[in-house]
Amino acid sequence: MNNKLALIGAALLIAGCTRDYMPESGASGELIFKAACAECHNKGIDSVPGKLFTLDSDKATPTYIAHKVHAGSLMMPKFPNIKDQDMRALSAYVLDHSLRE
């Protein structure tokens, strides 16, 4: 029981985590990805060079990516400072480097 409570507590802390990363003005999607995302999303897809993610077709949109980056999730912190042109650049980079399911 104590292990379950500890796991739930850790998950809640992670879910509420926010990163203060602020992209430099005019940064490319690749630079933003390397600075903010690559720490966790660094493995890629072994069978397909240059691809980092597999996305469900309905999630392969700039809107979905922006929501995911801003809201975070259970294992992903929020990045509220990636906005506007920076978010468009990051979304384009993620989509260009993703496979669709």
Burial of 32 (0-12, 13-18, 19+ CB in 10 A): buried
Q: Give the percent of the chain with pLDDT over 70.
A: 82
Distance CA 43, CA 100 (A): 17
Q: Give the pLDDT confidence of 43-82 residue by residue, as tens digits.
A: 878 778 888 888 999 999 999 999 999 999 888 999 999 9
The rounded distance, in Å, linking the Cα atoms of 46 and 10 is 30
Domains defined along the chain, listed by start:
2-100 (1.10.760)
